[in-house]
Structure 1
Amino acid sequence: MRRAPVTDGDTGEVAHFEGLSGLQYGLGLDEGQRSFLHLVLSMVGIGITTLASVEDLDDRRLPIMLRAILRLAGNDDIAVGRRL
């Protein structure tokens, strides 16, 4: 899965999500993995997935999405982690 969208570019590794959108149904992903991929593709402008699909994410994938949203927003002040 990780190698599907990543290629070597002039400045390092580059993700080509456009090519991944056509491969997503042949990757053998379970429902949680597919929801995560759909959300990632939606964040980069490929496809449309509702935010409600975060319900399908597990404890490992949800923080990844939260950190990605914060990074896209340019916010370095909010920490993502477990509550005590």
Structure 2
Amino acid sequence: MTESGAKITVVRHYFRADVLTMNPNRRNGPELDDPDVGDFSPIRIPLTVSALAALDLQPPELAEYLRAHVTSWGA
């Protein structure tokens, strides 16, 4: 619970994965049926410094970490 007037912290989770196959038709859950809670579509981007730089990743520490390590992931 949040106290009245208290600061709210929004948490976003990012995952880096080597996806070998994916069938979007097999995804399920109530959040996928409710457009008011957002879009849960996977976003695919190339693992390059320039592709990461084009994204507005937050917090800035995450963006810095990804740009610093992307070349070591064998993309």
The TM-score normalised by the length of structure 1 is: 0.28
Name the structure, 1 or 2, with higher relative contact order (CA <8 Å, separation 6+). Answer: 2
Higher helix residue share: 1
| Larger strand fraction of residues | 1
Normalised to the residue count of structure 2, the TM-score between the two structures is 0.30
